[in-house]
Amino acid sequence: MERIWSNIQIMIDIPVLTMGMVIDGLLIGGIFALIAYGLALVWGVMNVKNLAQGDFVILGAYVTWWLYHAGLSPIVGIPIAFVVLWGLGWVIYKLIICRVIEHDLFTSLLATFGIAIVMQQTMKIVFGADEQTIALNLESFGFFDNMLTIQPTRLIAFIAAILLAIGVITFMKRSRMGQAIRATAQNPRAARVMGIDTEKVYSFTFSLNAAICGAAGGLISLIWEFQPFIGLIYSIRAFVIVTAAGLGNLAAVIAAGLGMGVVEQTGAFILGTEYQQAIVVGLLVVVLLIKLVISSRRREVVE
Amino acid sequence: MFHYKPLLTSLALSASFIVAAPVANAEENTILLGAAISLTGKYATAGNHAKVGYDFAVDKINAAGGVKIGDKSYKFTIKYYDDESTPARGGQLAERLINQDGVQYMLGPYSSGLTKAIAPVTEKYKIPMVEAEGASRSLFNKGYKYLFAVLSTSEQYLASAVALAADVAKANGKDPASVKVALAFENDPFSLDVRAGVIDDIKKHGLTIVIDDKLPRNLTDMTATMTKIKALKPDLFVVSGHSKGAGTATRQIAEMKLSIPMVAMTHCESADLVGKYGATANGYLCATQWAETLTYKDPMFGTAAEFNAEIKKTVAAYADKSVPYQLAQASAAVYVFKDAFERAGSLDKDKVRDALAATDLATFYGQIKFSEAGNNTAKPMVLRQIQDGKYNVVAPTAFASHKLEWPRK
């Protein structure tokens, strides 16, 4: 308890450090928002809660890392990871997801949980269990006598995440496929009546999500170390963000993603690095409780 | 102990024959050692290092005339099983080695977890086991009588870094109490063992702890700890969180432009700090059990450097990479058995056990002398500093090949 107070005292005494953590949190929060957006897409359109979300991310990281060691810059590697994961997403949809989409919640949860386990073990066999990372060893930008440092890789990742998000959003708003996806999300039966091939929409949506995860994983490979079994914490973060922000509310997803980055950084500083992931799960509980209270107050008409 | 079932297969027959008559081995002039080792599963890489070490020592000792007991000489052979890196399997295989294969003397498995699973079995059958790969101190507070470990236990891993920091402070005319220490340790049994040793030495030398962070098992980000370092400017930063802890810390110290005069960690080699992070890892202190540049030697394997050179020559897999300490300590374990057999002058396992307990042996791997609890208290942990991308021994100073570079740049 005493330690917690002294940590808070440091944050107040040296505001530039606090600023550093907030900036850092916002930068990594951009990537979390991206992963969460993909999850919200699949959840909203197909009502499938993808527990393998984080494992798609880690596979994207491995693809980028593998290409980097084959001599390809991450600037090329990340788009390739996007394409590779798109293909994998399509295969997984055709093999498994299309069979569980009409069933209840637990079938799709179990199916995606199974996919997660298979992916983890396969990555372990193919790439080994060691931690990997792409260390570009770029010099950080230092301000205020290096009390505030901004890492170029995080900045690049943040910008790339924003560009990708803008691209996806424009696609969803403007293109025929984007409109079809939104129509299917609103009412699949009506969409089918209007001549939309919902099967195609589903396979496209699932592939798009996998591709977004692949690109996000590529960005993560530039920032952190990863290994085959670390995907779960990215899944949990995405679930917390989507649960807090709700489906179909993009601005809220981005805000929640950035907020999560900041809460994680400052929370870990105050409580200790040990609690960094506990904070994420703790947030989920808080969010669910708040939602419960709100929904119990709202009166709905029973039809 | 013996399970004679009504239907004896020929296999069981021959196995029980060996159990009933270990003397049969003696007539063939061989001594059978047993080992369950991780040849597959998550410890496979390190397990294979250990196996190469065992095999190399056996070949070397046999070629040099074997083990001389009285006027007879015996050759070592090892019966291996693959424990698949799972403790439950390790325990079963130890039972099988002892009951079916008639093994009377055991070599250890890889990792503390496997050793913890096998030690109760060898203890039950009163089979002496010399192990080389289990460093957890929890192995040595159970009162085991038949367990002997040639390596330093985990609480010794980074304790010498604390002593080194205190020495540097004194050499610069400062009070050790003015040395501020930041700690970041993973919350797992190994790292907490390391931490316990560090805390003991901090108390002994009177240093001041300013940061004491624990790291989660699924560590990805240490920004929070690093920010505290920015605020409190410690003189010594000690990290232990397996290879991900070493890698993440190295990366983020550079990324956040921290200048810490002394940084000490475990798992530098397995995290491949030099390969991944290049010059940013320069100046780090890394704990290791053994290094080929140490000036230890013995009549069987020669000096540490000669051992290293011979492994590189005979085992193709190590020709172009450094010989890991896991391999060296496995060879040392076999050598300890040879010495104990010769001093016992007998194949009786209890006499061998007593001889093991009285071991005081100089080896290429370091001095080996067992405490009452069975751990080796004679060999210090070695600290290597990364200097221009090379691991150079800087402590203990008596065996060091290079001088400590302080402060690190």
Quote the minimal CA–CA distance from A94 to chain B in Å: 32
For B303-321, give one letter per residue: b (16+ CB within 10 A) or e: bbbebbeebbeeeeebeee
* Mean pLDDT, residues B185-205 taken together: 90
Q: Residues B213, B228: one domain?
A: yes
Helix (H, G, I), strand (E, B), or coil: what is residue B208? strand
pLDDT band at B19 (very low <50, low <70, confident <90, very high): very low
For residue B408, being part of any structural domain is answered with no
Predicted pLDDT at B23: 45
Q: How far apart are CA B187 and CA A272, in angstroms?
A: 12
Predicted pLDDT at B15: 47
Tokens representing B141 are 């507070």
pLDDT band at B11 (very low <50, low <70, confident <90, very high): very low
Does the pLDDT of residue B321 top 80, yes or no?
Answer: no
Does the pLDDT of residue B106 top 60, yes or no?
Answer: yes
Cα Rg of chain B (Å, integer):
23
Q: Residues B206, B235: one domain?
A: yes
Whether B292 contacts B53, CB under 8 Å: no
Q: Which own/partner pairs from A169-175 qualify as long-range (CB within 8 Å, at least 24 positions apart)?
A: A169/A250
Structural domains counted in chain B: 2
* A28 at B interface, C-beta within 8 A: yes
For residue B357, being part of any structural domain is answered with yes
Does the pLDDT of residue A303 top 60, yes or no?
Answer: no
pLDDT band at B42 (very low <50, low <70, confident <90, very high): confident
Give percent above pLDDT 90 in chain B.
64
* A112 at B interface, C-beta within 8 A: no
Strand partners, B367: B362
Whether A97 contacts A114, CB under 8 Å: no
Q: Which of A147, A233, A269 sits opposite B218 (nearest CB)?
A: A233
Tokens representing B353 are 């056990």
Write out pLDDT tens, residues B83-105.
988 999 999 999 999 999 999 99
Does the pLDDT of residue B296 top 50, yes or no?
Answer: yes
Distance set, CA A249 to CA A169, A179, A187, A241, B275 (Å): 12, 16, 17, 11, 44
CB-count burial class (<10 Å; 0-12, 13-18, 19+) for A205:
buried
CB contact under 8 A, B223 and A265: yes
Q: Residues B173, B109: one domain?
A: no
Q: Residues B147, B177: one domain?
A: no
CB contact under 8 A, A225 and B215: no
pLDDT band at A302 (very low <50, low <70, confident <90, very high): low
Q: Residues B199, B259: one domain?
A: yes
We report the CATH number of the domain holding residue B258 as 3.40.50.2300
| Side chain identity, residue B201 | D
Predicted pLDDT at A301: 60
Nearest CA in chain B to A146: B257
Number of H helices, E strands in chain A: 13, 2
Does the pLDDT of residue B16 top 70, yes or no?
Answer: no
Provide the domain limits for residue B173.
Answer: 156-288+382-399
**How many Cβ atoms are within 10 Å of B57's Cβ, its own excluded?**
27
Q: Residues B75, B147: one domain?
A: yes
Residue A138 per-residue DSSP state:
P
Structural domain spans, chain A: 30-128+138-229
Closest listed residue to residue B214, CA positions, set A263, A227, A276, A261: A276
Write out pLDDT tens, residues A52-108.
999 999 999 999 999 999 999 999 999 999 999 999 999 999 999 999 988 888 899
pLDDT band at B327 (very low <50, low <70, confident <90, very high): very high
Tokens representing A106 are 């637990």
Query: What is the DSSP track for A247-264?
Result: TT-HHHHHHHHHHHHHHH
For residue B62, being part of any structural domain is answered with yes
Distance set, CA B81 to CA B56, B122, B268 (Å): 17, 15, 30
Q: Residues B229, B212: one domain?
A: yes
For residue B2, being part of any structural domain is answered with no
pTM: 0.82
Q: Residues B99, B147: one domain?
A: yes
